[in-house]
Amino acid sequence: MAAVGSGARAGHENWSSRSAFILAAVGSAVGLGNMWRFPAEAGENGGGAFVLFYIFCVLLIGLPVLLSEVLIGRHGQANAPESVRKVARDSNAPEGWSVLASIGVFAAFLILSFYCVVGGWVVYYIGVFASDLFQTGLAGGAFEGRNPDDIKALMPGLFGDGSLMVALNLGFLAVTMFFVARGVSSGIEWVAVYLMPLFFIIFLAITIYGAFTGNFGDAVAYLFTFDFSKLTGEVMLAAVGQAFFSLSLGVAGMMTYGAYANRDTNLGETSGIIAGADTMVALLAGLAIFPIVFAAGLATNAGPGLMFESLPLAFQQMPFGSLIGLAFFVMVFFAALTSSVSLLEAPTAWTFEKFKIARPVATIIVGAGAAVLGALSALSFNDLAEFYPLGFIPLFAETNFFDTLDGLTAKLFMPIGAILTCIFVGWIADARLIDNENGLDGALHKLWRVLVRFVCPIVLAVILFVGLTS
């Protein structure tokens, strides 16, 4: 068989089509970051100021970095550090630049560990709504006749049960490992091609339903009123971190997926589709969740609990509430799985290519490591609540294991990985090689070069500095 991409090596897998690549990459981007982390971050960082700065970050920083990452991957046709090394070699630059991707691979592994914990919560709520549907039937709201306080108690109940949290985490991780072990076309691509369309169908149905039954006014005002005084260094750092988290950047995931892309895929265009779809889902998720939060009189800064606490209350009021609640959490599960698969794939691809072992073996090794860290994250809501691993650093004072990993990756590893990626693509790598890959021309191409060379690294460095020192 002819090699698919010019750099394709024997045994290297590729996506079976351009749309498979887009679905997998959108699947990686759209996930708990959109449905759960975005509303939580917006709520904790003052709403409108955060949201508008977030959109600014996606357009001016996220999108150019996304394109830089997928093009490195496609040129390299290998795991992320190896791809950077190939671009460096072909540009007569030091191969040591691959460290930018090594940091990313490690960050992906860390994120995977706590991401599967939240994935486990989703599984729990699927169970809650499925059993409710089974018991009370279709008609009426969810949890018919139950006191709202019982429903509010669901999440603290789950969080207080350390062994249940660990078990759910392991279950979610095991499903992720199953698909990654099967490989690019029969595992990762399969998940994306079947689950992402289903996700979008359910998402649209629920959003439209919500638009007719909920009150958007307060949510729109909250999310889009820009109060300049609220835009502090910390809020800006949170917004950049969220943009990177949501677009799966700075952690080698998009490089890894780019490596399976064929030569005839226009990467500039594809990056635009990925970023557009991801941002749309995040904003719509915010518009779906905040009306409910306001209506139920819940605090907007409830953080991680926002989605899990406020939505079940809303489903109690809704006609067909059990069914909608079930559909909602199944949909979030699909989105989360297509993301966790990409988080596991980045370190797994590195492991099996580096140590020349079989893919399933590498999957098990990486998965086992993530299981251990994940257990510590799961226990940070109960048995280990007082364990502050980096408590001696002010940014992480009184921050539990889970939040430490989340903050460390989104606020530190991702921006640093992105700064290095921009410097590498904008200044170090051979410009002709890069232009051969990026699929841009004319003014757009010039704009992208300026963004990657100047705007992104400078803005990122300033935000990182301000966020860390303020």
Q: How far is the CB of 43 from ligand PHE (least distance, A)?
A: 17
Q: Would you mind telling me the total number of residues written for the chain in this entry?
A: 470
Least distance CB 436 / ligand PHE (angstroms)? 26
Q: Which is nearer to ligand PHE, 169 or 246 (CB)?
A: 246
Residue nearer to ligand PHE on the CB measure, 105 or 378: 105
Cα 256 to Cα 396: distance, rounded to the nearest angstrom = 30
77: left (phi over 0), alpha (psi -120 to 50) or beta: left
Q: Are 181 and 360 in contact (CB under 8 A)?
A: yes
Shortest gap between Cβ of 340 and ligand PHE (angstroms)? 7
DSSP assignment of 187-246 = IIHHHHHHHHHHHHHHHHHHHHHHHHHS-HHHHHHHHH---GGG--HHHHHHHHHHHHHH
- Applying CB under 6 A, which residues contact ligand PHE? 28-29, 31-34, 108, 111, 245-246, 248, 251, 253, 339, 342-343
Instruction: Look at the block and give the residue holding tokens 């791809």.
Output: 83
Helix (H, G, I), strand (E, B) or coil at 116: helix
CB 403 to ligand PHE: min, Å: 16
Cβ of residue 119: shortest distance to ligand PHE, in angstroms? 10
Of the two residues 98 and 242, which places its CB atom closer to ligand PHE in the complex? 242
Q: What is the smallest separation between the CB atom of 298 and ligand PHE, expressed in angstroms?
A: 23
Q: Which residue is nearest to ligand PHE (CB)?
A: 33
- Reference 428, options 7, 95, 105, 102; nearest CA is 95
Q: How many CB atoms lie within 10 A of CB 398?
A: 8
Return the number of the residue (219 or 336) whose C-beta is nearest ligand PHE: 336
CB of 3 to ligand PHE, least distance (A): 28
Q: Which residues of 234-244 are buried (b: 16+ CB within 10 A; e: fewer)?
A: bbbbbbbbbbb
